[in-house]
Amino acid sequence: MRMIEIVALGLQAGGFNGLAVPGVCGCIVGELSPADCLSDSCEPGYKHTHSERSDQWVVSTKRDGVTDADIERTIRECC
């Protein structure tokens, strides 16, 4: 078993959807560390999907309180 698979299992067991580095990036279980960027800066996070555009989402360390406007702003600023 690879380390990334162990990380994914741990995230799922803890109720998380992925990893985030606040203000920098986020990735979801099943696609963890797509740029081989896993580091000690990564924190467990929750996936938040835009209510009208399911292809737009972010991973945040916040469980609640992420709005569509927050998702749009994050995507606009980082991508």
Task: Spell 30-61 as b/e; 16+ CB within 10 A means b.
Answer: eebbeeeeeeeebebbbbbebeeeeeebbbbe
Distance separating alpha carbons of residues 40 and 48, to the nearest angstrom:
22
Q: Are 36 and 53 in contact (CB under 8 A)?
A: no
pLDDT tens track, the chain, 79 positions: 899 999 999 999 999 999 999 888 999 999 999 888 899 999 999 999 999 999 999 999 999 999 999 999 998 887 6
Residues 43/44/48/49 CA torsion (nearest 10 deg): 100
Q: Are 45 and 37 in contact (CB under 8 A)?
A: no
